[in-house]
Amino acid sequence: MTTKPWNWRLWAGFGVSVLALLVYAVLLQTTRSIFWGSLALFILAAAFLVSGLRRLFAQPQPHRGKVAGFLLTAVSVMIFAVFVWGVFLAAKYFPAAAHAPQVGQKAPEFITVDSHGRSVALAQLLTTSITDSSGVSRTPKGVLLIFYRGYW
Amino acid sequence: MGILPVAISADSPEESRNNLIQQAGLTYPLLSDGKAEAIRRYDLLSPGAGVDGRDIGGTAEFLVDTSGTIRWRDLNEAGPAAFMEAAKVVQ
């Protein structure tokens, strides 16, 4: 019975690749900087794969093991390709907003249309009277602008 | 706490009514930024990223006080707890 000392490294490389992609997909909605964490995991996966492939080439015999080894590496590379595609998609759907107004700046004015077709400007919102649960009418202390993607 | 939330997207008033106000029963104002002008001014544009290829905005929130100054913002990074901390700031 021959031992296969290269085995665990290639499986580790594959496993860490899968983990890296999952971590990115799951945590992307929470924070965009998860990209760096996933990238670090892919680098770790690459280290395992390279190390495992080296040992694989050092084996003089069965090429059945080598085929499996190449397959694991190829699938791991494909997983990384899916990650790269995901990063480009994320850039398209989650704009970096480098020039979005900062805390302390004046909120840019704008005019929009409400659901009844009336025009609504930011200045109007800041002076709209709202009635709280006890029936008291007053102007708001602040307005929370919630930009969302819409449904179309 | 006296903060007025308003939601802004590139959806038309009809689309907002049909999708969210009528079906989901949302009661706060949904504002239509049909040409994505407000979206551009806040640098949130996702060009052509709408389902029908229209320009839409990415998600972000800005808390504006009565003087028109931004007191807090979240470019889709923080969560509700961070907003509650910021809401106290304008009281």
Q: Are residues A58 and A27 part of one domain?
A: yes
User: Is the full-model pTM beyond 0.80?
Assistant: no
Q: Are residues B64 and B41 part of one domain?
A: no
pLDDT, mean of residues A134-142: 80
Q: Are residues A14 and A84 part of one domain?
A: yes
Residues B64-78 have pLDDT tens digits of: 999 999 999 988 654
Q: Are residues B7 and B44 part of one domain?
A: yes
Q: Which pLDDT band, with edges at 50, 70 and 90, does A95 fall under?
A: low
Q: Are residues B41 and B10 part of one domain?
A: yes
* Tally of domains in chain B: 2
Q: Are residues B38 and B78 part of one domain?
A: no
Q: Are residues B34 and B4 part of one domain?
A: yes
Q: Flag whether A29 is in a domain.
A: yes
Query: What is the Cα–Cα distance from A50 to A47, expressed in whole angstroms?
Result: 5
Whether B66 sits inside 8 A of A107 (CB atoms) is no
Which residue segment(s) compose the domain that A128 sits in?
101-147
Q: Which pLDDT band, with edges at 50, 70 and 90, does A140 fall under?
A: confident
CA distance B53 to chain A (A): 9
Q: Are residues B45 and B89 part of one domain?
A: no
**Of the residues A93, A119, A139, the one at which a domain ends:** A93
Q: Are residues B80 and B68 part of one domain?
A: yes
Q: Nearest chain B Cα to A31, which residue?
A: B77
Burial, B42: exposed, middle or buried (Cβ in 10 Å; 0-12, 13-18, 19+)? buried
Contacts of B25 in chain A (CB under 8 A): none
Residues B22-71 have pLDDT tens digits of: 777 777 889 999 999 999 999 998 888 888 888 888 888 999 999 999 99
Q: Which pLDDT band, with edges at 50, 70 and 90, does A104 fall under?
A: very high
**ipTM reported for the complex, 2 dp:** 0.85
Q: Are residues A72 and A46 part of one domain?
A: yes
